[in-house]
Structure 1
Amino acid sequence: MPGRYCSLVQASAPAFAPGLTAERLSALVRGHRMWVNGTVLHYCFLDRDGDASVIAVPGTAETRRVSWVGAKEQQDVVRECFEEWQGLGIGLSFVEVGDRSEAELRIGFQYGDGSWSTVGKDALRVGTGERTMNFGWDLTAPGERGTALHEIGHALGMLHEHQSPFAGIHWDDEAVFAELAGPPNFWDRERTFFNILRKLDGDEVNGSAWDPQSIMEYAFPPGLILEPEQYRAGLNPPGTLSPLDKEFALRWYPPLAAPEPPALVPFRSAPLRLGPGEQADFTVEPPQTREYTVGAFGDGDAVVVIFEVRDGEPRYLAGQDDGGTERNATVRARLVKGRRYFVRVRLYSSWGSGETAVMCW
């Protein structure tokens, strides 16, 4: 039986500064979609009467509205899958909210639109009235719970395993195009190429080896894969989190240390002393209400994010990634006296001998 496949949202490729060393470019490509650790990802289910797509009626000039609202039993599957990822002990956490303006992840259930998600921080580029994730079929059907785990994996920053250059898959391209052109997917050649046949850059993939058991791996029927030979009869991952999936999540989002982060005092720099992929966290309690700038200094590529603590939770306020340019990442935001903020700095790579630091002013 043909499988129903996730169709990734096609986002524009990031533009990095020219002339970067291979090491710096690799670090930037690998990390640009990943959240800083300690982020609380708020999700909401789109449930208003007006939450719908307007689609054309085939063969006519008419349009009709197709709802994004999902039944409670569908939503419950997604809730359980957020809890499963959270249960690994990762440093990210997931909180359901009712206000879409407070949600980084906005989830719809439009049947016929496929199942898909933005990847990692790409969700922040989507307007608050739009979905960042959709489920296009019944998640309560046997074997379909893995769809929710898969799409949440994308929201964490993971990509499709079968597109890894380490997989060594030799496809029967025309058989793949024909398979996906028919029901239940009805994909054109461009979408099939983007989601299946296209090879990712080695720096983009989830790990240094192909994981055919990954939740991010599709199942494929016989006749599509020519090599490796053992998959000519089909590839059938279990639809659960594999050991390498768990390792990836915990490597990027390790459990947060219990001690309170140090305070970042205005006009006083704090050394970072970070290695590639490491992160430093600080608290800020502004002495007055005004526009502040928070910035990184030194010979390193980094992302700087400010969170405001509201109702006991850090809410994403602003962030900037220096994109490998010679300028350092700086963020301007209005901070309010009496409120509490977190500043989180993650280093992609260090390309000089000097120390890096962060300052609020």
Structure 2
Amino acid sequence: MTGRYCSLAQQSAPAFTPGLTAERLSALIGGHSMWVNGTVVHYYFFDGDTDGSVIPVPGTGQSRRVSWVGAKEQQDVVRECFQEWQDLGIGVSFVEVGDRSEAELRIGFQLGDGSWSTVGKGCLQVGQNDRTMNFGWDLTVPGERGTALHEIGHALGMLHEHQSPFAGIHWDDEAVYADLAGAPNFWSRDRTFFNILRKLDADEVNGSVWDPQSIMEYPFSSGLILEPEQFRAGLNPPGTLSPADKEFALRWYPSARPPRPSTLEPFRSVPLGLGPGEQADFAVEPPETRDYTVGVFGAGDSVVVVFEERDGEPRYLAGRDDGGAPHNATIKARLVKGRRYFVRVRLYSAWDSGETAVMCW
């Protein structure tokens, strides 16, 4: 019998401008869910009586509310797992907040709704009264702590390891569908295909080789995998962060940061000089309160994010990803004199000769 699995919601693939070169498309697919380095990701646990899902009561024509509130023991497991990821020294940090409007990640504990998370910055598209992550079973049971590490991996932008095209897995498809249709998952064929049998694009996956020990790998019971032969009797990852998991997180979110970001002054462009995947960080101290535009220039694909410094940490204000479009990313935001802002620019790829630059005006 298969264990309980993380179930990602089915989402449309990101749409990119037709006719992009393979290099540009690869960089965009691989990075579109990832945070800019230096982001402080805030998380919130639902805690109110009205926080929950309204579900129908079969045979009554009525409905009832199912709580999203988790016991402290459940929350503590998640807190510890956020800390374990952060203790790797990655350049993204996690801070718990008590106000859901301040949180990028909003976490519920609705039993029976499965365990799942949005992927990377996809959480920014979810309304502030809705969950971006859920835990559907008891995390304090031995062996279940890995569920929290797994969902936080999704929140960092990681995808399911067994769906890697480098895995070389040959499934017994009908056995997989039958197994997941029963307890404890009760998945439809569409959900099983999306979360298990569907192969990811090579540019989406966490690395260039399959890591069967990854925290993003499901365990599988005997009879579901036909090839590789050594996994016919089952696949049982340890439920901990593997060396490859750690390498991936540190590659996308390196811990090294400049001691102080360069200053971005209004109406003065600054050359970027970035290579693919590299990032530049700037501080903005507006001389007057008004609406400003922050934009990049040049033949490059990039993501630009503006943060406002509050209580000594950067709070996400606005972001724009040019997504391979012919135009460059620009952001309009109201900046207040006397406050400090940060602009972070991460380059996907430079697709023509010439210099890329950033400016605030």
- Give TM-score scaled by structure 1 length: 0.99
How far is 1:59 from its partner?
4.1
Deviations 1:108-134 (CA, angstroms, capped at 9, x unpaired): 000000000000010000000000000
Q: How does 1:156-195 map to 2 (within 5 A)?
A: 156-195=156-195
Would you identify which runs of 4 or more consecutive aligned residues in structure 1 move more than 4 Å?
none
Deviations 1:168-218 (CA, angstroms, capped at 9, x unpaired): 000000000000000000001000000000000000000000000000000
Corresponding residue for residue 251 of structure 1: 251
Secondary structure at the aligned position of 1:333 is classed as strand
Corresponding residue for residue 327 of structure 1: 327
Corresponding residue for residue 127 of structure 1: 127
Secondary structure at the aligned position of 1:268 is classed as coil
Corresponding residue for residue 226 of structure 1: 226
What is the distance in 2 between the residues matched to 1:153 and 1:349?
25
Corresponding residue for residue 152 of structure 2: 152
Contact 1:38 1:256 survives alignment (8 Å): no
Corresponding residue for residue 360 of structure 2: 360
1:22 to 2:22 alignment: yes
How far is 1:11 from its partner?
2.1
What is the distance in 1 between the residues matched to 2:55 and 2:220?
30
What is the distance in 1 between the residues matched to 2:10 and 2:124?
15
Which residues of structure 1 form unaligned runs of 5+?
Answer: none
Contact 1:266 1:359 survives alignment (8 Å): yes
Corresponding residue for residue 202 of structure 2: 202
Deviations 1:67-109 (CA, angstroms, capped at 9, x unpaired): 0000000000000000000000000000000000000000000
Which residues of structure 2 form unaligned runs of 5+?
Answer: none
Deviations 1:139-187 (CA, angstroms, capped at 9, x unpaired): 0001000000000000000000000000000000000000000000000
What is the distance in 2 between the residues matched to 1:140 and 1:149?
13
Corresponding residue for residue 317 of structure 2: 317
Corresponding residue for residue 86 of structure 1: 86
What is the distance in 2 between the residues matched to 1:352 and 1:171?
42
What is the distance in 2 between the residues matched to 1:59 and 1:276?
57
What is the distance in 2 between the residues matched to 1:236 and 1:16?
37
What is the distance in 1 between the residues matched to 2:52 and 2:87?
32
Corresponding residue for residue 264 of structure 2: 264
Secondary structure at the aligned position of 2:295 is classed as strand
Corresponding residue for residue 7 of structure 2: 7
**AA matched with 1:233:** A
How far is 1:12 from its partner?
2.0
Range 327-336 or range 11-20, more displaced = 11-20
Range 59-68 or range 269-278, more displaced = 59-68
How far is 1:63 from its partner?
1.6
Corresponding residue for residue 287 of structure 1: 287
**AA matched with 2:13:** A
Contact 1:302 1:348 survives alignment (8 Å): yes
Corresponding residue for residue 51 of structure 1: 51
Range 15-24 or range 251-260, more displaced = 251-260
What is the distance in 1 between the residues matched to 2:197 and 2:102?
36
What is the distance in 1 between the residues matched to 2:308 and 2:189?
44
Using the aligned pairs only, state the percent identity.
82
Secondary structure at the aligned position of 2:140 is classed as coil
Secondary structure at the aligned position of 2:263 is classed as coil
What is the distance in 2 between the residues matched to 1:136 and 1:125?
22
**AA matched with 1:113:** D
What is the distance in 1 between the residues matched to 2:96 and 2:256?
21
Range 249-258 or range 334-343, more displaced = 249-258
How far is 1:314 from its partner?
0.2
Secondary structure at the aligned position of 1:177 is classed as helix
Secondary structure at the aligned position of 1:26 is classed as helix
How far is 1:239 from its partner?
0.1
Q: How many residues align?
A: 361
1:71 to 2:71 alignment: yes
